[in-house]
Amino acid sequence: MFARILSILIYITMSIPLTLIGILFVISVIVLPSKMNTFGRLTSICVLKCLFVKLQINGNIPTDRSLILMYNHSCFIDPFLFAYSSPGKTTGITAIENYKLPVFGWMLKKWNAIPIDRSNIKNAKKSIEKGEKAFKDGYNVIILPEGTRTVTGKIKKFKKGGFHMALNTKAPILPIGSKGAFSFKPKNRWYIKPGLVELNVGEIIEPSRYDELGVNGLVYEVREQMKKLTGYELEE
């Protein structure tokens, strides 16, 4: 009951600050588009603080080279967690439905996020190709290999598009486990439980191992790292 009452109070009292943060972000990006990633990180930490999320990053994400950053997907706050934690020039592949959301869709476009329509194989392949180009242009590329949020708390089976992208570009993969966001607010619960969210940085999988592992081996290794980093079970 306390969590429900607290959620209502947070939703009511934080609606105005969150709206103002969104407006300031839009103005900032229009005035200084070259600072998009910086504004994105500032906006993300402001949103998380307004929702009383304490973020703790365990480990370091290298800044001396571009990477494919793979996160598990468990909560609506994930984009803010990932945008804040990702260093340097960063973009990501996101479901095409997110592009249709008011304000947030506009933010994704300005961030140069790559929409993917998984119901259309031909278009999905084009999106992966855009991700490959972004990596070659020096961007980190965020990929959520589960595709959608888990509803059970378990790590879902992975889509393989991001792994083919890694093989095609010889891009190192860095798994990062998000722990605590599911407890904050799972997909099928309306109220939130403010608290600690950890991003646990895993071990880089180097391209020198790709011939040995292949796509299925990469999928297995990233899922196993995710399980270890989050403490969550794997969905069969």
15-43 pLDDT, tens digit each? 776 676 667 666 666 766 666 677 778 88
Which residues does 192 contact at the CB level (< 8 Å), separation at least 6?
Answer: 3, 6, 7, 10, 51, 184, 185
For residues 35-61, one letter each, b for 16 or more C-beta atoms within 10 angstroms of the residue's C-beta and e for the rest, the string is: ebbebbbbbbbbbbebbebebeeeeeb
Residue 70 to residue 119: CA distance in whole angstroms: 21
Q: Is the pTM of this model over 0.95?
A: no
Residue 182: name the closest of 192, 172, 167, 168 by CA: 192
Structure-model confidence comparison of residues 88 and 129, the more confident one: 129
For residues 1-30, one letter each, b for 16 or more C-beta atoms within 10 angstroms of the residue's C-beta and e for the rest, the string is: eeeeeebeebeeebeeebeebbeebbebbe
Q: How confident is the model at residue 144 (pLDDT cuts 50, 70, 90)?
A: very high
| 3-state secondary structure (DSSP) of residue 190 | coil
Q: How confident is the model at residue 121 (pLDDT cuts 50, 70, 90)?
A: confident
Distance of CA 211 to the CA centre of its chain: 27
What residues does each domain of the chain span?
55-230
Q: What architecture (CATH level 2) is domain 55-230?
A: 3-Layer(aba) Sandwich (3.40)
How many percent of the chain have pLDDT more than 90? 56
Q: pLDDT, tens digit, for every residue of 35-84?
A: 667 777 888 888 898 899 999 999 999 999 999 999 999 999 998 999 88
Residue 100 has pLDDT above 90, yes or no: no
Query: 189 φ, ψ to 5°?
Result: -130, 135
Structure-model confidence comparison of residues 186 and 107, the more confident one: 186
Helix, strand, coil % in the chain, rounded to nearest 5: 50, 15, 30
Residue 170 per-residue DSSP state: T
What is the per-residue pLDDT for 169? 95
Which residues does 66 contact at the CB level (< 8 Å), separation at least 6?
Answer: 88, 89, 135, 138, 139, 140, 141, 171
